[in-house]
Amino acid sequence: MILSQFQTVGHDLFTKGLVSSHSGNLSIRLGGRIIITRRTSRLGCLEEHDLIETGINKNDRNTPLASIELAVHRAIYRETPALAVVHAHPPHAVALSLTETEIVPTDTEGQTIVGRVPVLGWHMKVESGGLADIIAQALKKHRIVMVHGHGTFAIGQLLEEAHNCTTTLEESCQVICLLKSLQVGVPKK
Ligand SMILES: [Zn+2]
């Protein structure tokens, strides 16, 4: 049941091109425990051994096997009511994160589901697992945030919800990029 949720979301992110072969990570919270994708797992074809269970606050022998973004996922669960986290590298959103400090969807679905999305980490050297506290704080007010030149972190009560935020933001970013390429800018309402 849990595995099939991870597989559905991971496969969809991969086939949509929102993660590359070994990038991105997914997790859910179960009380004081976290189930997170394994370090260097392939989201497009997850199997049972790719799901690593460890503590949110405590390390154990499984901790070194977890995704390199474990510190960010843990901080999010400590600071927000989220029960699921999706991290992806959607190309249009990443492109806009290199030029904007905030992404503001122009399409109705984007405005409704994701709203204004802050771009975090400008002028900071960000390594994997970095910015954990800044990302967690921002996710108290947003369902999804962008890390400058890197990717998205989305939250939800279910993986499916965080996945929906991720694909919706990417679609909004695609529309913004198309408008920019047509040089029409954002139409005024
Ligand atoms: Zn990443």
Helix H or strand E segment including 8: helix 2-15
Q: What is the pLDDT of residues 72-107, one digit of tens each?
A: 999 999 999 999 999 999 999 999 999 999 999 999
- CA 31 to ligand 1 center in whole angstroms: 25
CATH number at residue 51: 3.40.225.10
- CA 24 to ligand 1 center in whole angstroms: 5
Question: Which domain, by its residues, includes 169?
Answer: 2-181
E strands, 94-159, are 102-103, 117-120, 144-147, 151-156
Please give the tally of structural domains in the chain: 1
Q: What is the pLDDT of residues 30-57, one digit of tens each?
A: 999 999 999 999 999 999 999 999 999 9
- CA 30 to ligand 1 center in whole angstroms: 23
Place of tokens 């669960």: 77
Domain assignment present for residue 93? The answer is yes
- CA 149 to ligand 1 center in whole angstroms: 10
Domain assignment present for residue 71? The answer is yes
Domain assignment present for residue 186? The answer is no
- Can you tell me whether residue 180 is helix, strand or coil? helix
* Residues with Cβ within 8 Å of residue 144, at least 6 apart in sequence: 114, 117, 152, 153, 154, 155, 162, 165, 166, 169
- CA 119 to ligand 1 center in whole angstroms: 14
Q: What is the pLDDT of residues 102-124, one digit of tens each?
A: 999 999 999 999 999 999 999 88
Q: What is the pTM of this model?
A: 0.94
- CA 189 to ligand 1 center in whole angstroms: 35
